[in-house]
Structure 1
């Protein structure tokens, strides 16, 4: 084992050491937990039970911020807002808007007209409630990704903070998204892309099986060819893996504080915090293996009259 691998393993294990150290000294009898492996048969998935109970929402809010279900750093958001250069009359569609937090933050930062969509009824219901309670201007709705019901030339920008790797038929998806984009419109999404030598490596397959939904990450070249065939320009990519990894680690650095603040509720929150740790540790392990990287991808549509 290389020194570099040992160091990265130690950093991942730090979440678990800090939690177990605190739990071991706690008098409520909370059972310490073992760091998971990428492919452990005992690994917990949220598909085993109700996916979004109040305890999980409380853990997510503590880790990532109100209205968030994933790490989203100020660094990534600030760079994204700068790249988008949106105006107050810009129309933005957010695909997969979490619990409403990303759409709300984007709308506040830009003043744009923001509509967030998700294809899961439970997420859409939770997000609508959160945005209403927050007094947010951004709107949220449940829509099928392959048939959003939006009119042609509706959006200046389509953003997917959590990417599209859970969607298998990406040609169908991006063909539909092209129809709702205005000429000179853009799709910007952050997602996992296969970067290892073997696009069907077992590590990616195991990770996919343990996610909340199966994942179908593409290589950069394969997605570029697909997007161009549909009618987009070739994508631009920016590797944001290190920023994403840092954001994950920063979020889980709050784990002990979350449990301390939970007080007598800590035993009820423990399994949900552990499940999130396992979920994100698997993602860290996959990125650090070199089999996948996390990219911001941008594809542009110049309209049917564009000169080729």
Structure 2
């Protein structure tokens, strides 16, 4: 956190109040004697710079309610059905963004669903969206390494946004193995390096420009790692082309976003341009030929034989 957040000048109290009111839905707590904002106010202002209301408005216009990335029926709906979840099942969604994907899983399956994100700001946004839309799932902020869930809790663990931001994959999947039931599945959507160079500059540049550093795996190395942890070899479904086409389809909605904004179009334009640049970099990475986007499914070793 920068020094300016630690010591906000008193004359900017109005800005701090507005930020906190937007973020927390309540008035700003009284400041201390120094006139500096209370800690939760400083936190709200810092996070608001990452997820301002303009960005949220743009995301909803491009992708839909509760989404911060494209939702592709051809990709996601078959996967949700294949999980065979019922009202008696327990599902965990890790990194479910603004709440929409987890809500869809809960709606389609009727399962007891919990959404966990390792970012405080995103978990708060998801909780707000879930509350406002009446979705039947729980939301919390948890580290993926230490979810606090008991052993054998989950029938399914789904990561719509993938695990590329997690550097220590061995530690991650060792923990997920513990909270998964014997016949359960882990499904995640992520980039894998499929070119000849595992340290290709295209991935390094894309990672450096991301909100968080990205640590991509290669299919063969991850398969070996998963097997050593206690999983069967992963099943990879290549959905790269569908993913890329969904991004381009979202780009085409940018005109609708600006038109719907009306007099506020100028205010939204910087957020829209920034979002389009982010997804254009993703397309450029795909077009480089160095990566592919996979739906990856892992199960316990011999899990298909468990009765």
Structure-1-length-normalised TM-score: 0.82
Q: Is the 8 A contact 1:236 1:299 kept in 2?
A: yes
Greater shift, 85-94 or 163-172, is seen at 85-94
State the alpha-carbon separation in 2 of the partners of residues 49 and 198 from structure 1.
Answer: 38
SS of 1:297's equivalent in the other structure is: strand
- Report how far residue 82 of structure 1 moved: 2.5
1:256 is matched with: 255
Q: Gaps spanning 5+ residues in structure 1: where?
A: 1-46
The count of corresponding residues between Structure 1 and Structure 2 is: 260
State the alpha-carbon separation in 2 of the partners of residues 151 and 269 from structure 1.
Answer: 44
2:214 is matched with: 215
Equivalence map 1:67-146=2 (5 Å): 67-146=66-145
1:235 is matched with: 234
- Report how far residue 154 of structure 1 moved: 0.3
Q: Is the 8 A contact 1:184 1:303 kept in 2?
A: no
- Report how far residue 55 of structure 1 moved: 0.4
State the alpha-carbon separation in 1 of the partners of residues 244 and 178 from structure 2.
Answer: 34
1:283 is matched with: 282
Q: Deviations over 1:196-216 (max 9, x none)?
A: 110101111000000110001
Q: Is the 8 A contact 1:91 1:113 kept in 2?
A: yes
SS of 1:139's equivalent in the other structure is: strand
Structure-2-length-normalised TM-score: 0.82
Q: Gaps spanning 5+ residues in structure 2: where?
A: 1-45
Equivalence map 1:154-165=2 (5 Å): 154-165=153-164
Q: Deviations over 1:74-100 (max 9, x none)?
A: 111221123212112111000001111
Q: Deviations over 1:183-237 (max 9, x none)?
A: 1111000000001110101111000000110001010001101100100000000
Q: Is the 8 A contact 1:182 1:303 kept in 2?
A: no
SS of 1:184's equivalent in the other structure is: strand
1:267 is matched with: 266
Q: Is the 8 A contact 2:240 2:294 kept in 1?
A: yes
2:204 matches 1:205: yes
SS of 2:241's equivalent in the other structure is: helix
Which structure ranks higher in relative contact order (CA pairs < 8 Å, sequence separation ≥ 6)? 1
Equivalence map 1:55-74=2 (5 Å): 55-74=54-73
Q: Deviations over 1:230-252 (max 9, x none)?
A: 00000000000011111111112
Task: List structure 1 runs of 4+ shifted beyond 2 angstroms.
Answer: none
State the alpha-carbon separation in 1 of the partners of residues 81 and 121 from structure 2.
Answer: 32
- Report how far residue 49 of structure 1 moved: 8.0
